Amino acid sequence: MRFASLRRRIRALDRRLREARVLARAFRYPWQPVVAQIIPTRRCNLSCTYCNEYDRVSEPIPLDAMRRRIDRLADLGTGIITLSGGEPLLHPDVAELIRHIRRRGAVATLITNGYLLSPALIERLNASGLDSLQISIDNVLPDEVSKKSLTLLDQKLRWLAWYAAFDVTVNAVLGGMRDPEDVLIIARRARDLGFQCTVGIIHDDRGQLQPLTEQEQGVLRQVAALERPVLSFDRYNRFQDALARAEPYNWRCRAGSRYLYVCEDGLVHYCSQQRGSPGLPLGQYTADDLRREQASIKACAPYCTIGCVHRVAMIDELREAPAETLESWFVHSGSASGMPLPVRALLGVFVTGPTRTLARRAAGRLLGA
């Protein structure tokens, strides 16, 4: 096994433990933020035609202002803080931002188009304590829609496989590309290198579904059938099945509470596609705001394709009806053997077993929740 791969596995143990703590706190406190995405710069070095989240001119947000935002998110109890953009690697202090997120006890993740990655930068990200990185790759060859292309980024993937001590996920946008089968090639390449792969169904400028073609639906099914770890939220994508068929999906969006989007001006929005709601300064965002948004109904939910907010909402589904939720996930994923043994064991210990109260209390203590 390569040294980086071994190092990645060892660091993954520590990250898994901290993620378990995030989960335990999310179960304990129903309105605390689980994930916050923050924007260190709106600027991007690319211009994907499906994207409304970048410009060509913005300056990086000063380090002190970013540190204050991270501090505020940590004070609100945020478990996972993700740097996005624009292109976050254009920020000159990106490593220090990650270090600060870790210093404040949150899991640190980053979403990038990968263009600026080099062995030296990957080592700096390792040293900063980055927990996981999502690299976006949409097609095999660059075209007018996206230049996040396997042929251009494969060297970056190889460097990541070689040097990264953090977890790597490849995300591909599905919908509106010249050849949807590219997504399958990208997913297989990710898997061959030992990375996770997620698919984001393309959305319009309000986060709403752009219906998929038959061929795109087929690709989504094939990617979903690829092997994934049992204890990974990426594996359970029931929402994507409904949306792929252009059907509404019945769920409760917890944006503004469990998920926060903090723009370059330091304002809290539901998500990248609902900027302006609620649009309040992070410094003045309080527990009352979190509680209000936990309960608020979002009219845009039934056709929303924004995967990260869906996945955060799954924690509350699990919290509110654990046995039913788990069953629905596994029935949906068509697992021939039903619920896998580790999940059945966890269900027995924490939900249905006679010593569940004791087990929950012990786990909560152990994980500091």
Ligand X SMILES: C[S@@+](CC[C@H](N)C(=O)[O-])C[C@H]1O[C@@H](n2cnc3c(N)ncnc32)[C@H](O)[C@@H]1O
> Pick from ligand SF4, ligand X, none: which does 271 bind, CB < 5 to 8 A by kind?
ligand SF4
Residue 50 lies near ligand X (rule: CB under 6 A): yes
Nearer residue to ligand X within complex by CB, 49 or 337: 49
278 upstream amide cis, omega within 30 of 0: yes
Contact flags string 51-70 toward ligand X, x per CB under 6 A: x-x-----------------
Nearer residue to ligand X within complex by CB, 30 or 200: 200
CA distance 127 to 131: 11
Amino acid at 10: I
> Pick from ligand SF4, ligand X, none: which does 47 bind, CB < 5 to 8 A by kind?
ligand SF4
> Pick from ligand SF4, ligand X, none: which does 212 bind, CB < 5 to 8 A by kind?
none
Enter the DSSP assignment of 255. Answer: B
Nearer residue to ligand X within complex by CB, 50 or 350: 50
Helix (H) or strand (E) holding 366: helix 356-366
258-317 positions binding ligand SF4, by CB under 6 A: 270-271, 273-274, 298, 300-301, 304, 306, 309
Site size with ligand X, rule: CB under 6 A: 16
- Residue 12, judged by CB atoms within 10 A of its CB (0-12, 13-18, 19+), counts as middle
From 70-78, 84-92, 232-240, 361-369, span contacting ligand X (CB under 6 A): 84-92
Of the candidates 112, 128, 139, 274, which one interacts with ligand X according to CB under 6 A? 112
Burial 39-71 (b: 16+ CB within 10 A, else e): bbbbbbebebebbebbeeebebbeeeebbebbe
CA distance 369 to 363: 8
Helix (H) or strand (E) holding 217: helix 214-224
Residue 85 lies near ligand X (rule: CB under 6 A): yes
Nearer residue to ligand X within complex by CB, 243 or 339: 243
Residue 171 lies near ligand X (rule: CB under 6 A): yes
CA distance 269 to 83: 15
Per the listing, tokens 């916050």 go with 36
Using CB under 6 A, list all residues that contact ligand SF4: 44, 46-48, 51, 53-54, 85-87, 113, 207, 253, 255, 270-271, 273-274, 298, 300-301, 304, 306, 309
